[in-house]
Amino acid sequence: MPAPFISVIVPSFNQGRFIERTLLSVLRQKYSGRFELIVSDGGSTDETVDILKKYSDRITWWSEKDKGFADAVNKGVKAAKGEVLGIQSSDDFYLENTFENIVSGFNAHGDAGFISGRDLGIDLEGRVLWARRQNGKLTPKSVLLGPESICQHASFIKRSLYERIGGLKTDIDMCADMDLWYRASHFQPGYFISSQAGVYQVQPAQRTQTSKKFYENLVRMVESCEASPEYAAVSRLSPEEKRSLFLFWEIVYTLNYDKATGISIARKNIGNMAGLDKRTSALIAKYAKNPVDHTLHLLRSGGFISAVADKLYAKTSKANLDWWK
């Protein structure tokens, strides 16, 4: 795969404040192969359409009502010509040389169905909030239980694999991207590469910050996949793994829209941590009332060392966030 045709699909709705940065982070990539940019807009009423018109000679786009994120992406893929697909949110953006680095990842891992770079998160002032250190092979269980998430804004998938699993599922719209990587990993592994590839824009209008449906969508994602003989034959979670995973998700996604309730759920499980994995234990320990309990649980779970390492990595990140200008 020396220089595959890359198609980037951007599902969009009322993110005019950010979308030009997203477009330029694609259009200004230095890449030896061909690439295209497709924006599937859901009928934005802000300045988005005016910005898309500005780049009409360089992108493919439309603005019409759709059924949500998954539907918008699937429409974009249907119009795409590329062998490798990227799905980029209209408020996030790629870092410099991402296409070349992702293709190098595919070339380094011949069995890879998808490749993910490392990511950063920034606030509205452009300050780096995190810089993840993802690494390793991605299997069905590591996609769900791994210490680091695979990030849509830093990941690319072979079109052949995307089509084999039927694309994004519209009935699990809230977590359709995670569901994509989860199902894909049943047939071909993915791999993290060490290059930083994408930037996640933290902002109050995000679905992850406002929707109460993430947790139920995630549980349904796992249960529906395991209900399929084809998928279940490859991978199935144990009862203990499900308990850890579902509790982790319940706390994380409740915290996003109701911090007090999320903390309450965590504290109720302080005395019930036996059998939980390190990730879930560290999350619960973070919200322990007693400072001594908090520290002890973090040390036992490995969360303290991981948290310190993450902060140091974020502080030393030298990614040029303005390269696209």
pLDDT for residue 290? 64
What pLDDT score was predicted for residue 148? 81
Task: Please give the pLDDT value at position 271.
Answer: 84
The answer to whether the beta carbons of residues 187 and 113 sit under 8 Å apart is yes
* Dihedral pair phi/psi, residue 120, rounded to 5°: -125, 155
Note the pLDDT of residue 302: 55
* Segments of the chain scoring below 50 in pLDDT: 304
Query: Beta strands 128-131 and 137-138: pairing type?
Result: unpaired
> Residue 256's pLDDT is what?
86
Q: Which helix (H) or strand (E) is 129 found in, with range?
A: strand 128-131
Please tell me the predicted confidence (pLDDT) of residue 207.
65
- pLDDT value for 210: 58
C-alpha separations of 143 from 57, 178, 190 in Å: 38, 8, 9
**Do 51 and 23 form a contact (C-beta atoms < 8 A)?**
yes
pLDDT given at position 114 = 98
Q: Considering the entire predicted model, what is its pTM?
A: 0.91
Q: What is the pLDDT of residue 177?
A: 94
Q: Which of 283, 245, 256, 253 is nearest to 267 (CA)?
A: 283
pLDDT given at position 90: 97
* pLDDT for res 308: 54
